[in-house]
Amino acid sequence: MTDLRPRRSVLYMPAANQRALEKAKSIACDALIFDLEDAVAPDAKDAARINAVAAASSGDYGNREITIRCNSLSTPWGAADIAAAAKSCVSSVVIPKINNVNEVQAISDALDAAGAPAGMNIWAMIETPEAIFNVRSIAAHPRVVVLVMGTNDLTKELRAKQVAGRAPLLSHLGTALLAAREADKVILDGVYNDIKNTGGFLAECGQGADMGFDGKTLIHPDQVDGANDAWAPSESEVEHARRVIVAFDEALAAGVGVVQLDGRMIENLHVDNARRSIAIAEAIAALQN
């Protein structure tokens, strides 16, 4: 069954910035990515790595899930990043520009060689054309628990015009979503760059939630509340989910073959969705306590 830990809002924080790491302690996101890659200049990589490991091991971030985005193994910093993350307290390493399952396995082998616990997993970033073509096998790797859409890089690779919105990406996002569902893995929508455009951001959150993403990666703390609201089951949705389960269970107990609620047919898939909504709501509540 899919990991139901809340990942509605997953915030990138530049690990070279100590003030940002401190601020992250009070941000109401579900998960944090301490970033060693794009947000860190080459001459700050070593210091950022030390900062990220110290922050991840500090215990100062409450119930938030903590990850570290390492540089790719093909860079001068990737091997050291993975070796350091392996000895930290992160739940997973986030790996950019994964192209195929062989690269996932190389990361897994590097984690093992560095002494990482077996429970340390991989979030694979899907942000290249090759990754889209190979996304099913990437998602199926046992150590991959989350797919992260790298929409900025995909847009660049497509040479798509920004004025077109996400239309050029939708088929590729859909392909990755299907791969995640086939493998029963979590999948996160990509970032929204225009941090001052609240309306555009909320619209993209709504689109991502409607498409079936499990949450969204974020680049600014001001985006957290909008993502949390978009992916949290509402009180009415949770109440309806409970009624669906009760109605279905009562019908089964009575030997009734057809189940209806409020004039609508209820099938096993509706019950499964209802149980998922309740589980997510309970996980969100636990995260906030």
**DSSP secondary structure letters along 67-132:** EEEPPPTTSSSHHHHHHHHHTS--SEEEETT--SHHHHHHHHHHHHHTT--TT-EEEEEE-SHHHH
- Does 1 fall in a domain? no
Residue 102 · residue 68 · CB < 8 Å? no
Same domain, 203 and 240: no
Note down pLDDT in tens along the chain; length 289 residues: 578 899 999 999 999 999 999 999 999 999 999 999 999 999 999 999 999 999 999 999 999 999 999 999 999 999 999 999 999 999 999 999 999 999 999 999 999 999 999 999 999 999 999 999 999 999 999 999 999 999 999 999 988 776 667 999 999 999 999 999 999 999 999 999 999 999 999 999 999 999 999 999 999 999 999 999 999 998 999 999 999 999 999 888 888 877 888 889 898 889 999 998 999 899 888 887 6
Same domain, 217 and 252: no
Residue 264 phi, psi (nearest 5): -115, 145
Same domain, 185 and 154: yes
- Does 163 fall in a domain? yes
Same domain, 269 and 205: no
Residue 215 · residue 188 · CB < 8 Å? yes
Give the structural domain span for 176: 9-231
Same domain, 222 and 245: no
Same domain, 199 and 245: no
- Does 3 fall in a domain? no
Same domain, 45 and 178: yes
pTM of the model: 0.93
- Does 4 fall in a domain? no
Same domain, 148 and 246: no
Domain of 174, CATH number, reads: 3.20.20.60
- Does 127 fall in a domain? yes
Neighbours of 237 (CB within 10 A): 16
User: Can you state the angle between helices 198-211 and 170-183, rounded to 10 degrees?
Assistant: 50
The number of domains in the chain is: 2
**What distances in angstroms separate CA 68 from CA 64, 199, 213, one per listed residue?**
13, 30, 21
Coil, strand, or helix at residue 279?
A: helix
